[in-house]
Amino acid sequence: MWVEPKEGLNCSDDSIANHIIDALQTHIAVSLTVRVVNKGIIGSLKSTALSCSNGVKIPQLIDISHPKEYI
């Protein structure tokens, strides 16, 4: 799972990843590998892929403003 830190978030990449991993392990049987990437990388990859395809095989991106609502 690739995640981008929200602007203005003052946490290390490791603490973000660890928080997500802890939450996932509580709710799913198999824990995903979590990688925090630089702001804009996911959007850039999506734009590049959509420029040469219809996007059917591109994983959907989820923007969760309040993740605790889903846990």
Span 26-43, pLDDT tens digits = 878 777 788 888 878 878
Cβ–Cβ under 8 Å, residues 5 and 13: yes
The whole-model pTM stands at 0.54
What residue spans define the domains of the chain?
2-66
Across the strands, what pairs with 2?
35
Q: Alpha-carbon Rg of the chain, whole angstroms?
A: 14
State how far the Cα of 13 lies from the Cα of 17, in Å rounded to an integer. Answer: 6
Average pLDDT of the chain to the nearest whole number: 76
37: helix, coil or strand? Answer: coil
Confidence check: pLDDT of 71 > 80: no
Q: What is the pLDDT of residue 12?
A: 85
